[in-house]
Structure 1
């Protein structure tokens, strides 16, 4: 039975990652790390049972509707451990990616800045949301432990030495880096084409919005400078006549509108930089994980095809020996004849060895075929799950983008309507 079979209804998990906080490590002043608060609500009672079994935990909180919120705190390395265990326990699943650890902010010594931690916080929430929406991963015991355990450090220590590496898998992939599947199905050809196109489009949109953010920030700064100049102009009107007061009032009103426009653009850029662009980058990484899983499927098929070719060559060699056309080249045969080796006995011995090899290879080929076919079926299911999650993500992300744009323009209409009326 495969991982995707006999799956009951997926429990609803609402997960919020928030409040990144800088913490001091055990090594003193030079050791720091960031923790993230994870708040979970679910209709799965087993989560609350696991949470309440613990003697020491934070105070209970509620969402206002009587549903308890489970709150824990985790650091980035804890998320890495969760991803590693899920990869080991569910080798055929597409495990959502985490934000890269080796980024420029680390080199620049800026990994504790608000900008960095907020972006990572949003990305970590994307990671957990994707797991919670996966019909297999959402039911994993390690996820429940991750979201409910009050003594996660003790759990980490209990896992020491139990995680297996993937060196063999990496070695196999490297050895077959220059090989390709000979008989690729049309379904997977289409999957790869759609994946490449999606990756290209998302990457292109990502670059466009990076330029949009820079442009909006530049315009916002220009408006702030303009506002400062208007402030200076306002102070120049020093007479206390009614006409001067009226002019000062109008300059101030216009200046307030310019300031609101600048702050509105800044807020819009902040949303794009901290959320929308992060969503795009995370989606690029998610697509890459799907492509890696498809490559693993190809590797299984390549193994099967290589074994099949080896079996075919062995069968042909045995048939040639039986028909009298095989058994090595002319010079080898002559040398064996001069050495007094019985050619007929040698030929029969080779046939016997080949028959043994063919019997062994036949079983290996059948097993490789079963593995390749089973893996292919699982990958197809994973691609379907990815498509569902991706569609939901894009809809949510684009809706949020539209809402923020609409909110900005509505606010500006209100602000400048008042300015116009006042002038």
Structure 2
């Protein structure tokens, strides 16, 4: 098990992962279908590059990140959801105490609904995801189920992106050999999967002990350790405040999303309005110019359509990427509380063992001059208990150190992910307002 914890050192390498281009594939032997995702990692870490790993040739979709990383450092692979599950299970096995973000849920039904029977992506999904590669904007969602399915696919895509960016920027995980293979070579990953012969029984080994201990802790949920570490108190207070603030941002973003959705609908309604002047009104207007009026209305209609498309792009970003990644970050932060609860349980266990040891010490003194044989038996129990005490104390210290390091990692990853997200949001808003100024500027 790779549960050794080193002192936290922020990576001097830069990482950025983009998950995109979902494609449906069919297994000829079984006729089963699945969706694979393009994974592009841009980094200057040499461990993620080797002579036999191909470089990305078509990088036009990543131009917005040119200021961060050199294009030559981009490595592109393609993985399916089951590959993420395998990687995640081995992370739990090799790093049982590390705060690994949760994967998005599996939902085959929604995936299948996105595609028509002939295997092509639905037009609505193309519009929402820009899968065709053209600079399209989302069409008006005509069916609630289709909207839900397209949203499911987008949310999964952004969740997987958050997941991988968290792993590669984590000080204890970024050099994990299986992660590097996953990110850099499809061929080596396939060989690795076949060699390991991953099974569900194997998967359960890594998480069973930690989950069992947390379950035991829940049985004593109303008990608290007699003494709580000062550092843990500070971490909990900081986490609670951070989660509270992010929830406020999320709530505001949800309101904004609803407003944007209503405005897009209003634009659609305004676009359909027809300018109509009845004959009686025409007779009252001496200089009525029908052709000029139609020309102005046509220009107004075009401007409304352009405005709707601009706002739809901003709305799409806020609805799927911004909201989803904010929620993923909140969930990731909350996971650290599970580790803190595990520490509480271990402290309670240690206190219980210490109380038992103290009681045995008193009994030994009581009988050592009265009943030597009984005193010897008590002494033997004390010696056996001493080993348990040392092991339990070692676990408490180990979990405590992991929490301290995870707190540092979370702080680093949080700053990195949120800065990137808010920067992208700012860029999207600037593009929107710049576009609106251009659309409505006097011709």
Report SS of the residue matched to 1:41.
strand
**Equivalent residue, structure 1, for 2:301:** 255
**Among 152, 161, 177, the residue aligned to 1:116:** 152
Q: Please say if 1:410 is aligned against 2:443.
A: no
Give me the whole-angstrom Cα distance separating, in 2, the residues matched to 1:262 and 1:381. Answer: 47
**Equivalent residue, structure 2, for 1:316:** 362
Q: Which runs of 5+ in 2 are unaligned?
A: 61-69, 115-144
Compared CA separation, residues 405 and 233, structure 1 to 2 (3 A): farther
Shift of 1:275: 0.9
Give me the whole-angstrom Cα distance separating, in 1, the residues matched to 2:277 and 2:359. Answer: 92
**Contact 2:44 2:73 (C-alpha < 8 Å) held by counterparts:** no
Give me the whole-angstrom Cα distance separating, in 2, the residues matched to 1:266 and 1:286. Answer: 29
**Equivalent residue, structure 1, for 2:399:** 375
Report SS of the residue matched to 2:49.
helix
**Among 240, 243, 268, the residue aligned to 2:289:** 243
Q: Please say if 1:303 is aligned against 2:352.
A: no
**Contact 1:294 1:379 (C-alpha < 8 Å) held by counterparts:** yes
Shift of 1:102: 5.9
**Equivalent residue, structure 2, for 1:70:** 75
Compared CA separation, residues 7 and 253, structure 1 to 2 (3 A): closer
Q: Please say if 1:208 is aligned against 2:256.
A: no
Q: Please say if 1:219 is aligned against 2:243.
A: no
Q: Please say if 1:35 is aligned against 2:31.
A: no
Compared CA separation, residues 361 and 235, structure 1 to 2 (3 A): farther
Shift of 1:47: 3.1
Shift of 1:130: 1.3
Shift of 1:76: 1.3
Shift of 1:280: 0.7
**Equivalent residue, structure 1, for 2:130:** none
**Contact 1:10 1:135 (C-alpha < 8 Å) held by counterparts:** no
**Among 170, 174, 177, the residue aligned to 2:211:** 170
Shift of 1:244: 1.4
Show the 5 A alignment for 1:261-410. Answer: 261-322=307-368, 347-410=371-434
Shift of 1:216: 1.6
Shift of 1:170: 2.1
Give me the whole-angstrom Cα distance separating, in 2, the residues matched to 1:193 and 1:84. Answer: 31
* CA root-mean-square deviation: 3.4
**Equivalent residue, structure 1, for 2:176:** 140
Report SS of the residue matched to 1:207.
helix
Name whichever of 252-261 and 122-131 sits farther off. 252-261
Give me the whole-angstrom Cα distance separating, in 2, the residues matched to 1:103 and 1:26. Answer: 18
Shift of 1:322: 4.2
Q: Which runs of 5+ in 1 are unaligned?
A: 325-346
Give me the whole-angstrom Cα distance separating, in 2, the residues matched to 1:26 and 1:294. Answer: 48
Compared CA separation, residues 59 and 361, structure 1 to 2 (3 A): closer
Give me the whole-angstrom Cα distance separating, in 2, the residues matched to 1:153 and 1:24. Answer: 17
Name whichever of 255-264 and 162-171 sits farther off. 162-171
**Contact 1:61 1:69 (C-alpha < 8 Å) held by counterparts:** no
**Equivalent residue, structure 2, for 1:338:** none
Give me the whole-angstrom Cα distance separating, in 2, the residues matched to 1:107 and 1:305. Answer: 54
Compared CA separation, residues 249 and 117, structure 1 to 2 (3 A): same
Give me the whole-angstrom Cα distance separating, in 2, the residues matched to 1:206 and 1:272. Answer: 10
Q: What do the CA deviations read for 1:13-54 (whole angstroms, capped 9, x no partner)?
A: 33221101122245645x3221001123333334333x617x
**Equivalent residue, structure 2, for 1:61:** 57
Give me the whole-angstrom Cα distance separating, in 1, the residues matched to 2:423 and 2:408. Answer: 23
Shift of 1:136: 1.8
**Contact 2:113 2:149 (C-alpha < 8 Å) held by counterparts:** no
**Equivalent residue, structure 2, for 1:83:** 88
**Contact 1:321 1:351 (C-alpha < 8 Å) held by counterparts:** yes
**Equivalent residue, structure 1, for 2:122:** none
Give me the whole-angstrom Cα distance separating, in 2, the residues matched to 1:253 and 1:96. Answer: 50
**Among 188, 191, 194, the residue aligned to 2:235:** 191
**Contact 2:93 2:207 (C-alpha < 8 Å) held by counterparts:** no
Shift of 1:11: 3.8
Give me the TM-score of the superposition, normalised by structure 1.
Answer: 0.81
Compared CA separation, residues 192 and 103, structure 1 to 2 (3 A): farther
**Contact 2:110 2:152 (C-alpha < 8 Å) held by counterparts:** yes
Report SS of the residue matched to 2:77.
strand
Report SS of the residue matched to 2:194.
helix
Shift of 1:158: 2.1
Larger radius of gyration: 1
Q: Please say if 1:228 is aligned against 2:272.
A: yes
Shift of 1:62: 6.9
Give me the whole-angstrom Cα distance separating, in 1, the residues matched to 2:78 and 2:166. Answer: 19
